[in-house]
Amino acid sequence: MNLRNFLSGTVLSTLAITMMTGCALIFIPKKQKVVIQTATPGASIIYRGDTLGKDRVVIRKVNKNKVFQQVTVAKEGYKSQRYCFEAAKLTPAYAISILDILLFGPAWEYRMPKLHKYDKVQHVPALQAMQNRKPDEKYLYVDNTSVDVKSADIKFINYNHIKQYERKSVKSNVKKKGKSLTKEDLKIDNTIFSDELNWGLKNMNFIDTTHTIFPNTGNCLYISSTIKKMTFFFIHHKDDHDYYVKNSHAMNSVLCLDMEIEWDIMDYYKQKICTLTTDKRSDLTIVIKDNGNVTDAYGRSIRAAMAGNLEYALMDVQKQLSEKGLLKMTAGKEDTSAFLTVNRPVATPGQRINDYLKSTVSVKVDDGHGSGVILSSDGMIVTNYHVVAGTKEIEVIFNDGTKAVGEVIRKNPDADLALIKVKKDSLIPLAFSDQKDPEIGIDVWAIGTPKSLELGQSVSKGIISGVRNANNMTYLQTDVKISPGNSGGALVNKDGTVMGIVSSKLIGFGTEGVGFAILSKDVFGKLRLKYSN
């Protein structure tokens, strides 16, 4: 055998072996250089937890063992974005491996990640700017984030490639074609996402972190969201999915979550103003199986997708509120209603604190109770507005156990005050003080119904420990023990004169004995009341 024939035979044998065994792959690099370009100037690009730079970075060694890769693009004042890209293009080695593909089937090509390559340049779309609260806009707080989805409204749609998802998922009827793989409804009363959304609102200055004791009740909105429909988009190589599930080192896929959400917009007292609807989609989120646990991997990714979706949706709610004019701060309108005139009670010297109990009441409402103070002998009673806000029925319970139906005849939500009327005569009212600057340090007693109706007309003693001014109101600070249910009750001095209406207390670790009552003079002013003499 001459040398020429030997070399020819060797080359042909080598090529045959290479084509039939995939040995051509040894000449293909496992890693590839990829350029990440963001459309948002100054945005940071994060890959595998490391910040690589801003605007444009080069990742020189992207491992092709993973079909999908993910970067995060972030910039202060913008909603951060997860961006996924895929090794979808075939390398020239695909052609010389054709025999392997014919022998082992089309899925073979996906089991050899080196046969694929990423686009050399990945263009990340512009980030969405977060609109910070303007000085003339109201504050926003997320009260509740719940899930109430019928089984028929939980849809699953599969795609083989990211570009296929981008091309097909934009159709208006695509979600209707999705399959529901469960027969169980999904219902969660409250989720962990409320705190995360409030954190985002705080970063946009929509949560007041300075006036936390005396909130501006007239310029605060509460938001409660309910997820009504969920569509999951999964992207993985269909022919190769079983292989990746079995091989944790190679398995990764991508998901996206579309959610239709109803948002109830409420005032400070949780009274609904309107309902808004959003239909947003999360960023693509990579799913990586760790420690062989597929359930945990998808659980983490679904949670991340839900959080991102809710953030986009809340930004849309903010936009809708602004367009409807509901975010605009409202200046407190001057009340021009006619004054209600009541007779001033005659003081009786030598009375004991026990005698004043006859002049206080328990106010039972739909979802609880509060307290009240008898203002006039013909059935007018002062309480807090938050005690009666939104209730359908009011039952007033007197010290002697008798009861009467109450009706709100005057209210001032901004001042948290309400006036109730009952059809009852010969009541014993208490006199309200007209002092502008009560003396600090004097003894006072709180009379009300703490915690339970069984504790009606309880008495606790303390002092006036300060006088505070906020939101055009004056509050008496006191160390009297105040509990839920005391709201609307009387803060009286030793003569039985009402110094203020109990309204709130500070609650928190290490905080004790700090309660507040609305100054009696403000009670008369805000409710447009006056004594006849």
DSSP code for 290: B
Out of 116, 236, 237, 386, pick the active-site residue: 386
CB atoms within 10 A of CB 464: 22
Packing angle, helices 193-203 and 294-323, rounded to 10:
50
Exposure letters 238-277 (e unless 16+ CB within 10 A, then b) = eebbeebeeebebbbbbbbbbbbbbbbbbbbbeeeeeebe
Out of 487, 503, 504, 520, pick the active-site residue: 487
Tokens of 529: 């009341």
| 416: annotated active-site residue | yes
Q: What distance in Å separates the CA atoms of residue 130 and residue 411, rounded to the nearest whole number? A: 37
Out of 153, 258, 416, 522, pick the active-site residue: 416
| 362: annotated active-site residue | no
Half-sphere exposure of 379 (CA within 13 A, CB side): 14
Pairing state of beta strands 154-159 and 220-235?
Answer: parallel
| 487: annotated active-site residue | yes
DSSP readout, 205-243?
Answer: T-S-SS--SS--GGGEEEEEEEEEEEEEEEE--GGGHHH
Closest CA to 353 of 461, 432, 513, 456: 461
Q: What distance in Å separates the CA atoms of residue 380 and residue 530, rounded to the nearest whole number? A: 13
Three-class SS state of 525? helix
Q: Which residues are catalytic?
A: 386, 416, 487
